[in-house]
Structure 1
Amino acid sequence: MTTLYHNPRCSKSREALHLLEEEGETIEIVRYLENPPTHQELRQVIELLGIKPIELVRTQEIEWKKNYKDKKLTDEEIIDAMVENPKLIERPIAIKGTHAVVGRPPEKVLDIL
């Protein structure tokens, strides 16, 4: 089973979902804008991705530019910002077992199969 952090309004996220479906993958869809991850859940996703929290932030979002861009934030504060404002989380994120990828481009989600 693959877990997909998904935003149905995002074309890249929809494309990633379609690719996984074409592969016959069983998918658990997490609509993270409606049900934001907790701090600990997001921390675990970041660890699976093997990245720093800032690498998961959509830094071009107005919310980021307005409230966080010029601040010196710790990793924990960056995670808190994404939990409080889930639209700051890069998408889509696919997780299978102990492997995770950000689907940019969407074909990257196939790397975990």
Structure 2
Amino acid sequence: DNDTSKEDVLGAIKEVMDGLEGVVTQEMLDKALIKIRSELYDNIGGTFGLGRADLLCSFALFDDDPERINSLEAEFRKIDLETVKRTISEYLRPTNRTVLVVNPLLAANEKTQ
């Protein structure tokens, strides 16, 4: 987008990231748990069992624990409001951000020189 400056984009990102710290509530966390459970069971039960097979294979291959499929919901329930707030403050701070500016026109000009 030629009309939007890098500073405008970074400012919008900063505004959203900085606003997360005090916004997350227990009610939001409860709704997120309902949504993730719904998606999990939709994935497990859908597509003629391929979702379940995919999860079982992934847990067997990467964790050597295909039975982990039975404890996923319990793992989701371990996430509490304090964990979310700690994660936001630890990982979403400005010093952890990387800015990559891509200018295809500049790259094309450099190739022709």
Coarse TM-score class (shorter-chain normalised) = under 0.3
Q: Rg: which structure is higher?
A: 2
TM-score (norm 2): 0.23
Name the structure, 1 or 2, with higher relative contact order (CA <8 Å, separation 6+).
1
Higher strand share: 1
Question: Which structure shows the bigger proportion of residues in helix conformation?
Answer: 2
With normalisation by structure 1, the TM-score equals 0.23
